[in-house]
Amino acid sequence: RMAIQVTATALPEVKIIEPKVFGDARGFFYESFNGREFAEHVEAGVEFVQDNHSRSAKGVLRGLHYQIQHPQGKFIRVVAGEIFDVGVDLRKNSPTFGKWHGALLSAENKHMLWIPPGFAHGFSVLSDGAHVLYKVTDVYSPENERTILWSDPVLKIDWKIKCEPIISAKDAAGQLFSAAPVGEEDFHTMRVTIFGATGLLGKELMQVVNDDEGTGVGSKDADLRNSEQVSSIVQSTHAD
């Protein structure tokens, strides 16, 4: 028997998960994650690589965060307090591009939220404090992290807080949505240059690199001892 109830939101890929809770005079028990049921009822093929735990005071607002490389899917729940959790669709080819959805997650309602890769994520703390636990599908990559301004005038997110939010300097300096690198093409902008592409190893590497992801350079076309020539080749192959 299914131990979770899954509800699609206005952003169909973003889903609210309600676990079946077993409680009595002693307390309660529920499955916070079941891989088989997640794959069957939420999204198949998802692999989580890390669990995170954050604590925030009342009025704290974190976000909106995403990564242009190693985009993260997040499975979020709250074990103390209450937050308003938000996902923003950054996929340019999506019919809900630029739309957002928010959900109240609390220790009391025990609801969980699945936000897949390709979305920005943020939350505000509505209670005196909150402990937020979340699973992620890829590791944190600071060089690829980007921030969209929490108060963006196009997104117009209602964060459900009545006071001036407490935010980090990094989040305060977030980009406007209209200027932020978003969309599927921006999540895969890293290009590689493979030197020695005509050799045995080079040929194998070229088989796993698409034309739009990298360029192969044969040993006759570049002298790796000449740093200026190598730099020139790299710049020319990444010019687009």
Are 211 and 188 within 8 A, CB to CB? no
Mind telling me the catalytic residues? 65, 134
